[in-house]
Amino acid sequence: MSKVWKKEDIVNMLKENPTAVLVGMLRIYDLQTVDEKAVEETTQNNGVGYNGFDGKIMSNLSTFFLSRKFLTEKQFNVAKKIIIKYAGQLTKIANNEISVIKRNFEIPANWLSKPKNNQRVANA
């Protein structure tokens, strides 16, 4: 029998584990519709994915990571603050109550880093 996750478990994991923040952000991003991903904001009230307030910044951070394979400390802190609100959805994902393709993300060991001098970073 597999573990049944509680929301508190997920919240604690998000508070203590930076990689959990990153994976959680990407899992919720995967719940955004194709149209929402295209415009990098929430346009449908379907009960999953980011809300209208968080959709733009979290989609931006997700696509930034997916294309560049890192987040700055500032970007990470924004993501961590916001993703905790989505612990309920992440709990449902962990317990297979919400269907999401659980793709494996390529996460480099140094994904949480400062950009090099010549790299422009999206505003966070």
Reported as a single tens digit per residue, the pLDDT across 38-71 is: 766 677 677 788 888 999 999 999 999 999 999 9
Q: How far is CA 27 from the centre of its chain?
A: 6
pTM above 0.75, yes or no: yes
Percent of the chain's residues with pLDDT above 70: 85
Q: Which residues touch 27 (CB under 8 Å, ≥6 apart)?
A: 90, 93, 100, 102
> Is the model's pLDDT at 124 over the cut of 50?
no
Q: How confident is the model at residue 20 (pLDDT cuts 50, 70, 90)?
A: very high
**Are 79 and 25 within 8 A, CB to CB?**
yes
Q: Which residues touch 53 (CB under 8 Å, ≥6 apart)?
A: none
